[in-house]
Amino acid sequence: MQCTSSQNPNNERSEEMIRYIKYCRRCVMPETKPDLLIDGEGVCSACRYYEHRKAVDWKKRGEELASILERFRSKSGDHYDCIIPVSGGKDSTFQTIRMLELGMNPLCVTATTDRLSTIGRKNIENLKNLGVDYIEVSTNPVVRRRINRIALTQIGDVSWPEHVAIFTIPVRIAVQLKVPLIIWGENSQNEYGGPAGDAQNNTLTRQWLEEFGGLLGLRVSDLIGQDGIKRSDLIQFFYPEDSELRRVGVTGLFLGYYLPWDGYQNALIAQASGFTSYHKTVEGSIVNYENLDNCQTGIHDYFKFLKYAFGRATDLACLHIRRQRLSREDAMNLVKAHDGKFPNQYLDCTLNDILDDIGMSMEEFVNVCDRFTNKKLFQCDTRGNLIKDRSGNLTKINYDNVVDEDRRDS
Ligand SMILES: [Zn+2]
């Protein structure tokens, strides 16, 4: 039974097409992922992009990186050589280790997460002790919680202010301290697929932020006047003007373009330098070494599941399949077991704690969830209401298509 839905904010396909979710034959990503294409052979654009990595001359890319770094290194020692935006996570710990190995004198910059976890703070302190100068910018938490609430109810993404701030704050610091080079981690369009033209884009611009930075159509200026928020409350969320960027010559590179990027490898390297993984598998995930710094991430990932019928477990399973660390069958079983569970707990916070923080009742939260659920992707009863188990979990209309198609074809 397919339910009809007037609330279908994110699916652009025709109603006729959404009777069955199609998945990549190689990984486990569904076609519902924004900007992902599944080709005539049933293989997704992210898997195709990963194939191309085999032909990359990494030695040459490494040499390109060395020559870029040389150009920006402060000869007098009066200035930092580069800025590294860091969260203290496995990737930013790896970025910092590599930059130090390459002889750079970085300034590490953190935009404090929406709700920093205990383990997140511990990993930030560890990162500082790699031997770097460090600046942390925390935006007004009272305003931040209002923005979390506005973003959750209006675009179904509680993490919107965090996704904005992690781009704007390091760029603002680069302008203020006149440090032109910013070392970003991976370009998500490379690793996770997306328009092919952008996969070659190894610099970050305002245009990139607006297209891929997770703004979801909500602009920073849209917040002015909502819930008492003033322009002066939002200073850190605004990207510097183009004229300021040009004056300092701010540029950025994605380290993932120059070095073969692998989150698991980064975690191993980070752990060997004191990075702490979680003591168990992170809720909604299949690993214990990433997304450890923000207790609101459980809500963020859950809404992705409600909109597109895949969550963090799917993302991770796909990365491990492409690197031949998981079979598709095992990955599918892990996804079924872990993806998209109602986010009662994430790291050291309960959902109740987080909702109290942002001034939302559980009832209101469940209503917002239902409003952003793409009902065509989940099982509903004969009256069109979502079917939930006792824990509030939904069931997808189908969890795979490849096995069914192969059976039909044979
Ligand atoms: Zn794929």
User: Tens digit of pLDDT for each residue in 350-383?
Assistant: 999 999 999 999 999 999 999 999 999 999 999 9
How many angstroms separate the alpha carbon of residue 188 from the centre of ligand 1?
A: 15
In this predicted structure, the answer to whether residue 10 has a pLDDT above a threshold of 60 is no
Phi and psi dihedrals of 181, rounded to 5?
-95, 125
Structure tokens at 273: 């330098």
CB neighbours of 177 closer than 8 A, spacing ≥ 6? Answer: 79, 80, 83, 107
Q: How far apart are CA 301 and CA 214, in angstroms?
A: 13
Report how far ligand 1's centroid is from the alpha carbon of 38 (Å): 8
pLDDT of res. 355: 98
Q: Side chain identity at 382, as an amino acid letter? A: T
| Per-residue pLDDT reduced to its tens digit, 28-54 | 999 999 889 999 999 999 999 899 888
53 alpha carbon – ligand 1 mean position (Å)? 14
Given a contact cutoff of 8 angstroms between Cβ atoms, the answer to whether 114 and 296 are in contact is yes
Distance 15 CA to ligand 1 centre (A): 24
What is the Cα 105 distance to its own chain's centre? Answer: 27
pTM of the predicted model as reported, rounded to 2 decimal places: 0.90
250: confidence class by pLDDT, cuts 50, 70, 90: confident
- 408 alpha-carbon distance from chain centroid: 37
Q: How far is the CA of 137 from the centre of ligand 1 (A)?
A: 37
State residue 279 phi and psi, 5-degree precision: -75, -5
Q: What is the CA(309)–ligand 1 centre distance, in A?
A: 15
Distance 161 CA to ligand 1 centre (A): 30
| Spacing, Cα 198 to ligand 1 middle (Å) | 18
Residue 22 in this model has a pLDDT that exceeds 70:
yes
User: Given pLDDT bands bounded at 50, 70 and 90, which one contains residue 187?
Assistant: confident
Nearest-angstrom CA–CA distance, 247 and 259: 29
* Mean pLDDT, residues 62-67: 90
- C-alpha 46 to ligand 1 mean position (Å): 6
Give 311's pLDDT tier (boundaries 50, 70, 90): very high
Give the rounded percent of residues in the chain with a pLDDT score beyond 90.
73
Determine the distance separating the centroid of ligand 1 and the alpha carbon of 109, expressed in angstroms.
34
Residues 6+ apart with CB under 8 A from 179: 79, 80, 81, 82, 83, 107, 173, 248
Q: How far away, in angstroms, is 305 Cα from ligand 1 center? A: 18
Give the mean model confidence (pLDDT) for residues 224-251. Answer: 92
From the CA of 322, how far away is ligand 1's center (Å)? 8
